[in-house]
């Protein structure tokens, strides 16, 4: 969070519990590697040592080597990124926000042509990304005015024609109604026995050689006790009854 937010304000909390999910992903990856090691070597297991804070530092791009070799301490700089000049979150004519970032020289040239800013093509200040980054605020201001000053449909057509990557910043309502999300079945409907169908994020990644089974609701407390304690552990019905009566299970 020390690098998230604007320089004149306190650090901003990430919008979701990202450390929990990143740790789960790397934990699953570590588990698969441990199973692979078991299968091809001596059959022994592995102890997985994974800390939540370490999964965060693993996702910080060049933060560590930039400090180690250059002494660079990255600070909060809003929606600007050192690899994108121009690049920002730009307000559109209909009040939404669009992400547009340009790093490559060829991409900047296509943007300049789309904006009818041929003067940028011969300006030595914008010849390379390193030079453009020195003038990123000027570029972003000009791009912001251009984006907000025209109908969104016309704007998108120009960006598409210039083969420039961009994206609108979605609310959850936008996500739920987006035809691309629907076509890929990114949102799944899960039948809950108590409250009915609930829509949630679907299973990813998808595999081409297997059918994706519908997501089942989480089991009720103790729903599989007979299978686990009886079939797997060999406990008798009497033993289960004793544990149940003592409220152990």
For residue 43, count CB atoms less than 10 angstroms from its CB and return exposed for 0-12, middle for 13-18, buried for 19 or more: exposed
Q: Out of 8, 20, 137, 239, which one is annotated catalytic?
A: 20
- Rounded Cα gap, residues 177 and 187, in angstroms: 10
Active site residue 20: yes
d(CA 223, CA 196): 19
Cross-strand partners of 225: none
Dihedral sign (CA 214, 220, 226, 229): positive
| Count of C-beta atoms within a 10 Å radius of residue 98 | 20
The alpha helices in 100-228, defined as continuous H runs, are 105-114, 118-121, 129-134, 136-148, 152-161, 172-177, 179-183, 225
- Asked if 154 contacts 92 with a C-beta cutoff of 8 angstroms, the reply is no
Q: What is residue 168's three-state secondary structure?
A: strand
**125 vs 76: CA distance, rounded Å:** 25
The whole-angstrom separation of Cα 78 and Cα 6 is 4
As given in the structure block, the two tokens for residue 116 are 């009818």
What residues are labeled active site?
Answer: 20
């Amino acid at each position: 969070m020390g690098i998230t937010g604007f320089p004149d304000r306190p650090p901003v909390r990430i919008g979701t519990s990202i450390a929990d999910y990143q740790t789960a992903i790397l934990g699953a990856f570590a588990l698969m590697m441990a199973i692979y090691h078991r299968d091809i070597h001596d059959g022994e297991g592995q102890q997985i040592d994974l800390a939540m804070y370490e999964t965060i530092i693993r996702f910080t791009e060049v933060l560590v080597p930039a400090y180690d070799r250059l002494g660079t301490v990255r600070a909060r700089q809003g929606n600007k990124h050192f690899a994108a000049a121009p690049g920002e979150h730009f307000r559109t004519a209909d009040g939404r926000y669009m992400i547009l970032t340009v790093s490559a020289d060829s991409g900047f040239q296509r943007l300049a042509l789309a904006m009818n800013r041929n003067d940028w093509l011969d300006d030595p200040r914008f010849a390379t990304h390193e030079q453009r980054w020195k003038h990123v605020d000027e570029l972003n201001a000009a791009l912001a005015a251009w984006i907000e000053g025209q109908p969104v449909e016309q704007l998108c057509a120009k960006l598409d024609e210039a083969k420039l990557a961009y994206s609108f910043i979605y609310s959850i309502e936008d996500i739920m109604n987006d035809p691309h999300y629907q076509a890929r079945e990114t949102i799944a409907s899960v039948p809950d026995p108590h409250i009915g169908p609930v829509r949630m994020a679907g299973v990813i990644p998808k595999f081409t050689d297997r059918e994706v089974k519908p997501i089942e609701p989480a089991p009720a407390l103790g729903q599989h006790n007979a299978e686990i304690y009886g079939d797997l552990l060999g406990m008798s019905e009497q033993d289960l009854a004793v544990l149940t009566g003592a409220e152990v299970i």
